[in-house]
Chain A
Amino acid sequence: MIEIMKADLQRIFRGKGVYITFSLFVGFVLLTIFEAGHIGFIIEIDTLSSHSDIAISGFLLTGKEMAFYQMRNTDNILYFILPFIIFIAGADFSSGTAKNMLTSGTSRVTFYLAKLLLAIGCSTFIYCFYLVIPTVFVTVRNGFGGSLNGEFFFSLIRPFLLQWLLILAVTSVGIFLVFTTKKVATVNSGYLAFLLVPTLIIMILSGYNEKFINLINYDLVYNMRTLGYFSELSSKDITTSLLMGMGYILVSTVGGLLIFRKSEVK
């Protein structure tokens, strides 16, 4: 499995697509830094312990605040994960190379898990890059805004891990789509629909009946966003996010493997 992952990593770096996507992503990260401070947006900052809203303008964010600001907008990076899923797994079905692997004794489970783990590795890198680079950049410019004490790490690591879990869940769903549909166009539309449509449907339904708004608690993207406001979340909210993340990973991976094990490969 590790050989497939290494070979795939080497392969995707031999193509232009990964560089183009990563350049766009870096541009996006730089834009978030610029947006968070330079333009002078009025931003509600929820710092570690304070629930007070602080209106700021100008480049006033500290590194600590920047980390939380980024976490509130993590759902944006989900769109950058999609190309990596396509490079890693979709390419094997669009080019037909999946059959080369499967006819040479590689088990379908190994093939699936190798692609999933590499995609997870890439999405983890993207997530860390998205959080760390702006935080470091702003810290260098404006200072960290406090001490790097245990309390900070504890309050940062918990939402970080939960958001990471949800990112892994979305990645798992992406890989599930690749291995069950085997068509890049369907994966693209299915993935985007998975990110956008549930929120939209809940909003429309809640227009008819307010009770439907409670469904938003089970929307993966919404959950990801709210984790940026971690200190305001109840333990029930946190548990819901945790279970949702694990549930999506489990269902999409087990389901994907069961379907792929019995499906025909063109």
Chain B
Amino acid sequence: MSETVLKLTNVTKTYGNKAAVDHVNMTIKKGDIYGLIGRNGAGKTTLTRLITGLSFADKGEIQIFGETTETGLREARSRLGCIIEMPAFYPNLNARQNLEYYQRVKGIPNKQVVEETLKLVGLMDTGKKKFKNFSLGMKQRLGIALALLNSPDFIILDEPINGLDPAGIIEMREILKYLNQEKQITILISSHILTELSMVATRYGIINEGKLVKEVTHEELKEDCQRSLAIVVDDVPKATSVMETILKTSKFKVISDREIRLYDYLDNPAEVSHQLVKNDVRISSVSEIGDSLEDYFMSLIGEVESL
């Protein structure tokens, strides 16, 4: 069983009468790239602020690397790297000077770490350019560099692709994959850009109005979003038999005693209906289902809001 890196139990944070984070339960295992998805104002940043200790939960328990006490959490946080909201640095220092500052305060003995990290994020050639003159993309890269400076076991990135150009987004994606696969770093990444998250995340948490609406694995999400024919029939065994023997397909899944999902014949549903009826299977309905990630996300949020 893999190590639990982060475990939140009933974590709640309220501002006035509004719950910014509402009884959130979440678990991140070692090796996960956990995508926290939510609209702007859904509670993503508040949640990351609670995890990193910038803010304090009103209720619930935060466990990082098994630690829950104040001292234990502080120790555990020394194994974290993070960017919360916008990366912040001293504006009058250049990239190297900023990282040297943190190398010193974090007591990192390896003098080469600054050069190595700058190289990794592609900021080796910024020279004397001060942080205040950096583009948004450069600031984000320096933020990543800081998050990686102390060779963390777990990094938390809040909206890290904000302000990046398409090339920068691709590079960021590659960096995250490299860190996860080569360095075995667990990653929590929050974003409202679902398609981008879907390219890196292995697990997802969908947050809306402070509540964690759903947690799914990448495979589950892929399945939920896969286009298919939802066929409601009176006799499922007979229908599956028709599919296998006459339609020559095994790309289906029995959902219930009345419903089958068929991932084949999407371009010819009439043939499916015809063969089923011909073999005395009564059909109540045939419909094409399946969402884009955005549709899936919106339908999930819509379901919650309509409750």
Residues of B close to A10: CB separation below 8 A = 101, 104
Contact call A264/B55, Cβ cutoff below 8 A: yes
Least CB distance from B103 to A in Å reads 9
B26-52 vs A, CB cutoff 8 Å, 1 = contact: the mask equals 000000000000000000000001001
Interface size class of A (residues with CB under 8 A): 20 to 34
With a CB–CB cut-off of 8 A, which chain B residues contact A103? 52-54, 77, 80, 82, 84
> B105 to A101, Cβ gap below 8 A?
yes
Pairwise interchain contact B77-A4, C-beta atoms closer than 8 A: no
Let me know if B166 is at the binding interface, CB within 8 A. no
Binds A, one of B88-96, B191-199, B259-267, B288-296: B88-96
> CB-CB < 8 A to B107: which residues of A?
3
CB-nearest residue of chain B relative to A265? B54
**B93 and A107 contact, CB distance less than 8 A:** no
Cβ-based interface call for A91 (8 A): yes
Chain B minimum-CB-distance residue to A97: B88
A99 touches B88 (CB 8 A): yes
Interface residues of chain B: helix, strand, loop or mixed (majority):
loop
Q: Which residues of A contact B82 (CB under 8 A)?
A: 103
Which A residue's beta carbon lies closest to that of B104?
Answer: A7
Contact partner of A99 (CB less than 8 A), chosen from B54, B76, B93, is B54
Q: How far is the CB of A127 from chain B (nearest CB, A)?
A: 27
- Asked if B93 contacts A11 (CB within 8 A), the reply is yes
Q: Answer yes or no: B150 CB below 8 A from chain A CBs.
A: yes
User: What chain A residues lie within 8 Å of B105 (beta carbons)?
Assistant: 3-4, 7, 101, 106
B86 at the interface (CB under 8 A from A): yes
Q: Report the bound CA distance from A7 to B97 in whole Å.
A: 10
B89 near A95: Cβ-Cβ < 8 Å:
yes
> Residues of B contacting A262 with CB < 8 Å?
56
Asked if A236 is at the interface of the complex by the 8 Å CB criterion, the answer is: no
A90 to B79, CA, bound (A): 27
Give the Cβ gap from A2 to chain B, nearest Cβ, in Å.
Answer: 10
- Interface bits B98-124 vs A (CB < 8 Å: 1, else 0): 000110111100000000000000000
Q: Tell me if A211 is interfacial: C-beta within 8 Å of chain B.
A: no
B residues in contact with A264, CB < 8 Å:
49, 54-56
Q: How far is the CB of A235 from chain B (nearest CB, A)?
A: 45
Cα A248 to Cα B55 in complex, Å, equals 28
Tell me the nearest residue of chain A to B49, going by C-beta.
Answer: A264
Q: CA–CA, A101 to B54, complex, Å?
A: 10
A91 and B84: CB pair below 8 A?
A: no
**Which residues of chain A come closer than 8 Å to B299, judged between CB atoms?**
none
Q: How far is the CA of A216 from the CA of B76 in the complex (A)?
A: 50
Q: How far is the CB of A98 from chain B (nearest CB, A)?
A: 8
- B55, B75, B90, B93: the one contacting A105 at CB < 8 Å is B75
Contact B86–A107 (Cβ < 8 Å): no
Of A3, A11, A16, the most chain B CB neighbours within 10 A belong to A11
Residues in A with CB closer than 8 Å to B97 are: 11, 14
| Cα-based distance from A99 to B86 in the complex (angstroms) | 11
A257 to B158, CA, bound (A): 28
* CB proximity of A141 to chain B, nearest CB, Å: 39
Is A52 located at the chain interface by the 8 A CB criterion? no
- A104 close to B (CB within 8 Å): yes
Contact B54 A102 (CB under 8 A): yes
Closest B residue to A98 by beta carbon equals: B88
Counting chain B CB atoms within 10 Å of each CB, the highest count among A6, A102, A103, A266 belongs to A103
Interchain CB contact under 8 A, B84 and A14: no
Tell me, rounded to whole Å, the shortest Cβ–Cβ distance linking A93 to chain B: 10
Which of A91, A97, A265 is the most central at the interface, judged by chain B CB atoms within 10 Å of its CB? Answer: A97
Q: Does B146 contact A (CB under 8 A)?
A: yes
- B104 pairs with A3, CB closer than 8 A: yes
Interface presence of A147 (CB below 8 A): no
Q: Which residues of the other chain, A, contact B104 by a CB distance below 8 angstroms?
A: 3, 6-7, 10
Interface residues of A (CB under 8 A from B): 3-4, 6-7, 10-11, 14-16, 91, 95-97, 99-107, 262, 264-266
Q: What are 15 pairs between A and B in contact, CB < 8 Å?
A: A3-B104, A3-B105, A3-B107, A4-B105, A7-B101, A10-B101, A95-B88, A96-B85, A97-B90, A104-B78, A104-B81, A105-B77, A107-B74, A264-B54, A264-B56
